[in-house]
Chain A
Amino acid sequence: MTTHSPTVIWILLGVAGFGTWLLRLSFIALLGRVTAIPELVMRILRLIPAAVLAAIVTPSITHASGSFDLGTDRFVAGIIAGLVAWRTKNVLATIGAGMGVLWLLQAVG
């Protein structure tokens, strides 16, 4: 449960939302003045999803108990879900496998 106040959360949503819209509008609004994105910037932008997603996912399964621990139910469920995600690239199958294994381990453990 968050301790951020509702006012802070409104500000977070507003700033992140407006910033996101500016990113979306950026080149559409600028066209004519800016014609091309530098090659290096393009390469960085292309890599963002892989880097950010990997950085979010990993600690959520390696530190599920708060500290580094590869023996948690969430680590096992996460690894299996990762294999399913890798093979199927399917959101539903990945969530199904991960939640299924987690519930099973919680039930027997």
Chain B
Amino acid sequence: MNQPSASRSPFQAGFFDIAPILVGVFPFGLIAGIAAVEVGLDSIQAYAASLILFAGAAQLAMIDLIGRDAAPIVIVATALVINARMAMYSAALAPAFRELSPLRKAYGSYVITDQSFAVSIVRFDRVDETLPQRFSYYMGASLGLWVTWQISSLAGVIIGSGVPEEWSLDFAIPLVFMALLFPAIKDRASTIAAVAAATSAVAFVSLPLNLGLLAASGLGLVAGVVWSRE
């Protein structure tokens, strides 16, 4: 960490810049693994979720809904709504990815996360690098996160089968979401969206097919957009 950044390759720089964030990712992955086993997924599927989706919040929401036997269409729709923000990252990263081969675009897209996007966009803004260097930096950050997520969720799957139910570890799912929620409340619009979504989610609990979550999120979004208009 004490090395001057100039002596590092862009790939290493990306990895070093995301390293402090990985400490907080590990318990999150552990819980994703444990929770998947607890709702009744077999070990292979519980781990496959991390490999196929590689999206923590969406995975946890899916696991939660699978555990409640929600309708399949609601489970998929919820995951995609949660991940819709990835399209925003895709748009912001697109200029730096423009010249890449289709293969690199394909796997580079697969590893987009909140965290690797955040460190990359800061770097692109501050450091003048070629497009290949930018991609290397991004991949250094993204692979650091990917490896951490795979290892931590796999560890969770292995531990999960041995965790007694009395430990109530399923409660860790809402706790993780709570820890993600407060940083997401940044301004008036997001405060209104969160309060409206929270209130209506409580009112919508008995909606059929576990549609409450989607309906409440939608209402929260409408409220946030409407009331934040100047």
Q: Give chain A's interface residues, CB within 8 Å of chain B.
A: 1-4, 6, 8-17, 19-21, 23-32, 36-37, 40, 42-63, 68, 74, 77-78, 81-82, 85-86, 89-92, 94-95, 98-99, 102-103, 106
User: How many residues of chain B get a CB closer than 8 Å to chain A's CBs?
Assistant: 94
Our pick among B27, B31, B213, B228 for the contact of A56 (Cβ within 8 Å) is: B213
Docked pose: A54 CA to B174 CA in angstroms: 10
13 A-B residue pairs with Cβ-Cβ distance under 8 Å, sorted by A, are: A6-B42, A6-B45, A17-B53, A23-B86, A24-B109, A37-B91, A45-B84, A47-B189, A49-B57, A52-B57, A52-B220, A61-B174, A95-B172
For B39, what are the chain A residues with a Cβ–Cβ distance below 8 Å?
1-2
Assess the A92–B27 pair: CB atoms within 8 A.
Answer: yes
- Measured between beta carbons, the chain A residues less than 8 angstroms from B195 are 54
Interface pair A10/B45, CB less than 8 Å apart: yes
Binding site for A on B (CB under 8 A): 24, 27-28, 31, 39-42, 45, 48-49, 52-55, 57-58, 61-62, 64, 66-67, 69, 72, 75-76, 78-91, 93-95, 97-98, 105-106, 108-110, 112, 166-169, 171-186, 189-191, 193-202, 205, 212-213, 216-217, 220-221, 224-225, 228
Residues of B within 8 A of A30 (CB): 94
Assess whether B221 is in contact with A99, with CB atoms less than 8 Å apart. Answer: no
A49 near B85 with CB under 8 A, answer: yes
